[in-house]
Each structure stands twice: as C-alpha cells, then as structure tokens.
Amino acid sequence: MNYRYFIKLAFDGTNYHGWQIQENAHTVQQVVNEALSMMLRETVSATGCGRTDSGVHAKEFFAHFEIDQEISVKACKDLVFRLNNYLDVDLVIYNIFHVKPRIHARFSAQARTYQYVITRIKNPFISRYSHFHYGPVDLELMNKGAEFLLSESDFTSFSKVHTETKTNICRVTYAKWEEDGDNLVFTIRADRFLRNMVRAIVGTLLDLGMKKITFDDFRTIIASKNRCDAGESVPAYGLFLIRVDYPDFN
C-alpha cells in the first residue's frame, strides 16, 4: 500500500533552474527528492504543484510524494526538522502531512497567485528580488490593461513557444498593480499559468504604462495570439509564487 504526503515549502530561486528536474541543472525537485530519499531510506519522487522558471522564487509551493511506509504526525514533524537542518538556507520545508490518494499537488490546485515586484529606486539589497525600472509609468493605464485580462481566456500571446501544453486557455480572476513604497507590485491569480506567462504580461503592461503602446494595441496583442507581438519578458528574479489554493486536503 502506498501512502501519499503533501509538502509545503518555499525557496529562493536564485541558485535553482526552477522546480522541474532537468539534465545537468540544479533544481528544487532534485534537491527535495534526494533529501527525502536519504531521510526515508527509499526512493522518493515528488510531484510539484507546477513548474517555475529558472530564478523564480516561491513563498508558497506544494508537492506530493508516495511511499510504502506510513508516517505518524509526530514523525512528520521530526522529518521537517531534520530536512531543514540538512537543506541549504535558500530552501525551507514548512510542513509534511498525509492526504488521500485523490489529492494531487498539481491537478487538485484550483488557483495560483503570483506577484511581480518592480522597484523604482536602485537598491543592491533587494536586487535579487525585484526588477529595477527607471522613469515614470501610468499606473492607471496599466491597471486598465490588467483588468482587461479578466475578460480574456486565450493567452497564447504571453506563452513561451513550442511548449507541451495542450491548451493556452486560462481563467484569470484577479490582476492588479499597487504601489508599495518605492515598489510597484503586480498581483495576478488564475486557475493555471502558461510558461513565461506572468513575465510576458508584466513586460507588455510596462510598455503600456510607458506609452510605448496604446490600450487598443494591448487588446490587439492579445487577440493576435502571437508571442512576437507582445512585450519582452521581465527578468525572473522579480517574480514570486505566493499562494496555491486547494479545495480540501481531506
């Protein structure tokens, strides 16, 4: 009999090539698998709630794994403690808990929320976690573009080309820019995201805010379903996965 467990974790993506295991690359999934396999003394392969681009951070990330042995609540807490003592400081395990076999880290997730941070003051102490942008932007116009995303469903124009996804349909339920001191923070929530989608959206909304394109141009870009029409993707280090929503773990 196999037992399924969820892991709640967070990571600074600076030194990782994303979550997904890749050949000849340092990834979060690889590190987690190796640590769990060593601690549990059996081969463990964790499935993540999604893949993240190289350099992207996660304040909240979930994965699940299955093993032959049952772990008590107390043993799960002890495992969390031992893993955090073993892992580097850029990766933390918050919790490990048992779930029913039908609960899947990726497919059971109902929504994911990302934030992108832009700083308008050059600051070496936050340069790994925000994108420096100099010059004025029209925040009201950028929010007009963000709100328009809620009425759209096909985000091909913001997707990395030649991906393995079967559809580029996503349901965006929240998208908004807010000022936070010297920072501009873009928050977006959707049922799913395409590869590079958030960074491409942010880059295109920045073009809108700098008046490089008009609002009509922005709508035309989405309608074109052509990645070449959209703006450049902003750097990965300003992007954070901050929340993953599940219906019920029981």
Catalytic residue numbers read 53
Identity at 245, one-letter amino acid code: D
Identity at 36, one-letter amino acid code: L
Q: Is 99 helix (H, G, I), strand (E, B) or coil?
A: strand
- Give the number of residues written for the chain: 250
Contact 222, 84 (CB under 8 A): no
Report CA dihedral (14, 167, 164, 92) to the nearest 10 degrees: 30
CB atoms inside a 10 Å sphere around CB 25: 12
Identity at 184, one-letter amino acid code: L
Contact 146, 222 (CB under 8 A): no
Dist. CA 140–CA 244, nearest whole Å: 28
Dist. CA 137–CA 203, nearest whole Å: 12
Dist. CA 153–CA 210, nearest whole Å: 25
DSSP class of residue 55 equals: T
